[in-house]
């Protein structure tokens, strides 16, 4: 009995010695009192030493993803009303603009290809003719459709057609986005003078304007966001224009692929730049800090609180993230997201109001470029996505922190032939 008591006493002493020495070490280092991260999630960043990861939790809009206004899941719906010729590859619709609401109707603009045959692909661009498209976005015009609910769409016809050769865009006009400025409408888009894939995907952003969303549209016939000088990151292309009215000016975000592409296709990198204008016709001054987003492919931006939010999808170290820039320029990761919409244009009621406190978005349009059942029927389809990236909605089901995919989705990402061959597996 006595022995057990003595043992207990010894243990107690040992614990005290360890505790005292820990505290002393902390004191020697001059740090605050040793504290353990609490079980109840702190609202503010705790005022004691944290690991880098714990510290970062408080750099996001909220430490828990479920409470983060810029975290969401994305849900998808097939559109009704748009025909694809049985998916044979002769009709493509892709790169939708953000939809806008005018007199009770939603309008969207997009790239449409209706060719006799499907595209031969960028690598075979030399085989392209006046009737044979190289890429999916070669030999295209800008079309538009309207809807009363955002699910059923009625195609209305061509908004901006390819002009006759040699005018800018004679080969293809693609990837439009809309700006509403002082009651008038402006479509910014890519204007190609060669089959995409010839040297690369080289084209500048051009523009067309109209008094009504139904047109008629007048194409300015020249680049409005020109290439950078040789040696600059955007020397060969300005693409995916995405305009917003911010701080009383037009903030047009765009994309360029760089780093020696196309000579070294596998070394390519993609980033986004910002060009600012006081008038839709320009001049667009490129932000000296460009590129402003180091990841992502097509551009998706919207006013959010005092700043601008962006979605970075594929490409780059920060792919699959929502980002936020309080000044529209210096973006930081605000959330990591999954199953992100490709080439998304979100319905953004305050994109053109000049708001000083953006409310965010809940739905929009996107595309799937692999809609074909087989490679020789290559085409894209436009779809709708829904999400909760809005200050005005709080839909718990869209804030769940993960979605489950069936095994088929994973098995589709199989080994293919290469690795099996290397490892000698039959
Ligand atoms: C896209 C965009 C641009 C490219 C091509 C059509 O989705 O990045 O528009 O040029 O692919």
Is 45 within the bounds of a domain?
no
Ligand 1 neighbour 95 (Cβ under 6 A)? yes
- Long-range Cβ contact pairs of 391-396 (< 8 A, separation 24 or more): 391/69, 391/305, 391/359, 391/360, 392/359, 392/360, 393/362, 396/66
Ligand 1 neighbour 122 (Cβ under 6 A)? no
Closest residue CA from atom 9 of ligand 1:
175
Is 30 within the bounds of a domain?
no
Is 25 within the bounds of a domain?
no
DSSP β-bridge partners for residue 186: 179, 209
DSSP 8-state code for residue 227: P
How many domains, in total, are found in the chain? Answer: 1
State the Cα–Cα distance between residues 273 and 291, nearest whole angstrom. Answer: 4
- The whole-number pLDDT of residue 201 equals 94
Span 54-73, average pLDDT: 97
- The whole-number pLDDT of residue 1 equals 40
Is 13 within the bounds of a domain?
no
Q: Per-residue confidence at 16, pLDDT binned at 50, 70, 90?
A: very low
Is 358 within the bounds of a domain?
yes
Question: Closest ligand 1 atom, CA of 239?
Answer: 3
DSSP β-ladder status, 172-181 and 75-78: unpaired
- The whole-number pLDDT of residue 14 equals 44
Ligand 1 neighbour 382 (Cβ under 6 A)? no
List, for residues 33-49, the tens digit of each pLDDT value. Answer: 579 999 999 999 999 99
- Domain containing 258 equals 67-411
More confident site: 156 or 412: 156
Is 14 within the bounds of a domain?
no
Taking all residues of the chain, what is their mean pLDDT, rounded to a whole number? 92
Q: Per-residue confidence at 81, pLDDT binned at 50, 70, 90?
A: very high
Distance 36 CA to ligand 1 centre (A): 50
CB burial class (10 A; 0-12, 13-18, 19+) of residue 418? Answer: exposed
Give me the CATH number covering residue 293.
Answer: 2.115.10.20
CA atoms within 13 A on the CB side of 167: 9
Question: Closest ligand 1 atom, CA of 342?
Answer: 7
Is 422 within the bounds of a domain?
no
Span 382-405, average pLDDT: 95
Distance 297 CA to ligand 1 centre (A): 8
Over pLDDT 70: what percentage of the chain? 91
Distance 94 CA to ligand 1 centre (A): 9
Span 288-300, average pLDDT: 98
Ligand 1 neighbour 325 (Cβ under 6 A)? no
Is 40 within the bounds of a domain?
no
Question: Closest ligand 1 atom, CA of 201?
Answer: 10
State the Cα–Cα distance between residues 327 and 276, nearest whole angstrom. Answer: 13
Question: Closest ligand 1 atom, CA of 137?
Answer: 6
List, for residues 312-348, the tens digit of each pLDDT value. Answer: 999 999 999 999 999 999 999 999 999 999 999 999 9
- The whole-number pLDDT of residue 33 equals 56
In angstroms, the Cα distances linking 352 to 3, 98, 128, 182, 305 are 82, 12, 39, 9, 14
Closest residue CA from atom 11 of ligand 1:
137
Closest residue CA from atom 5 of ligand 1:
137
Distance 245 CA to ligand 1 centre (A): 23
Q: Per-residue confidence at 263, pLDDT binned at 50, 70, 90?
A: low
Distance 67 CA to ligand 1 centre (A): 34
Helix residue ranges per DSSP H, 29-128: 52-57
Query: Looking at the predicted structure, is the pLDDT value of residue 160 above 90?
Result: yes
pTM for the predicted model, two decimal places: 0.91
Ligand 1 neighbour 343 (Cβ under 6 A)? yes
- The whole-number pLDDT of residue 23 equals 35
List, for residues 199-240, the tens digit of each pLDDT value. Answer: 989 999 999 999 999 999 999 999 999 999 999 999 999 999
Ligand 1 neighbour 237 (Cβ under 6 A)? no
Test site for ligand 1: of 109, 122, 240, most ligand atoms within 8 A of the Cβ: 240
- The whole-number pLDDT of residue 375 equals 87
- Nearest one of 396, 238, 393, 391 to 324, comparing CA atoms: 391
Ligand 1 neighbour 240 (Cβ under 6 A)? yes
């Amino acid at each position: 009995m006595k022995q057990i008591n003595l043992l207990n006493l010894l243990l107690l002493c040992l614990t005290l010695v360890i505790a005292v020495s820990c505290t002393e070490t902390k004191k020697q280092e001059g740090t605050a009192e040793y504290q353990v991260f609490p079980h109840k999630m702190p609202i503010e960043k705790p005022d004691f030493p944290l690991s880098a990861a714990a510290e970062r939790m408080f750099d996001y809009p909220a430490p828990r993803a479920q409470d983060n206004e810029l975290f969401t899941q994305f849900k998808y719906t097939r559109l009704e009303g748009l025909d694809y010729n049985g998916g044979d590859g002769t009709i493509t619709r892709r790169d939708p603009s953000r939809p806008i609401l005018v007199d009770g109707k939603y309008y969207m603009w997009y790239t449409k290809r209706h060719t006799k045959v499907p595209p031969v692909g960028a690598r075979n661009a030399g085989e392209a003719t006046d009737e044979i498209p190289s890429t999916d976005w070669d030999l295209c015009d800008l079309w538009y459709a309207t809807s009363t609910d955002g699910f059923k769409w009625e195609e209305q016809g061509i908004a901006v057609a390819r002009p006759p050769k040699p005018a800018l865009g004679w080969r293809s006009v693609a990837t439009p986005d809309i700006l509403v400025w002082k009651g008038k409408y402006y479509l910014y888009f890519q204007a190609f003078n060669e089959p995409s894939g010839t040297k690369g995907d080289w084209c500048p952003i051009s523009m067309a304007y109209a008094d009504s969303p139904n047109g008629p549209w007048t194409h300015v016939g020249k680049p409005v966001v020109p290439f950078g000088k040789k040696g600059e990151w955007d020397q060969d292309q300005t693409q995916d224009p995405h305009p917003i009215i911010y701080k009383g000016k037009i903030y047009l975000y765009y994309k360029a692929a760089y780093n020696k592409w196309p000579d070294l296709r596998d070394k390519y990198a993609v980033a986004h730049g910002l060009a600012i204008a006081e008038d839709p016709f320009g001049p667009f001054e490129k932000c000296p800090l460009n590129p402003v987003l180091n990841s992502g492919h097509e551009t998706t931006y919207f006013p959010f609180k005092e700043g601008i939010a962006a979605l970075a999808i594929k490409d780059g170290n920060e792919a699959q993230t929502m980002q936020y820039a309080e000044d529209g320029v210096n973006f930081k990761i605000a959330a990591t997201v999954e199953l992100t919409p490709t080439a998304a244009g979100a319905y953004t009621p305050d994109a053109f109001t000049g708001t000083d406190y953006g409310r965010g978005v809940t739905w929009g349009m996107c595309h799937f470029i692999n809609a074909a059942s087989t490679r020789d029927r290559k085409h894209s389809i436009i779809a709708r996505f829904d999400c909760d990236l809005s200050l005005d909605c709080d839909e718990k089901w869209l804030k769940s922190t993960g979605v489950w995919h069936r095994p088929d989705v994973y098995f589709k990402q199989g080994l293919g032939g290469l690795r099996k061959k290397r490892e000698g597996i039959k």
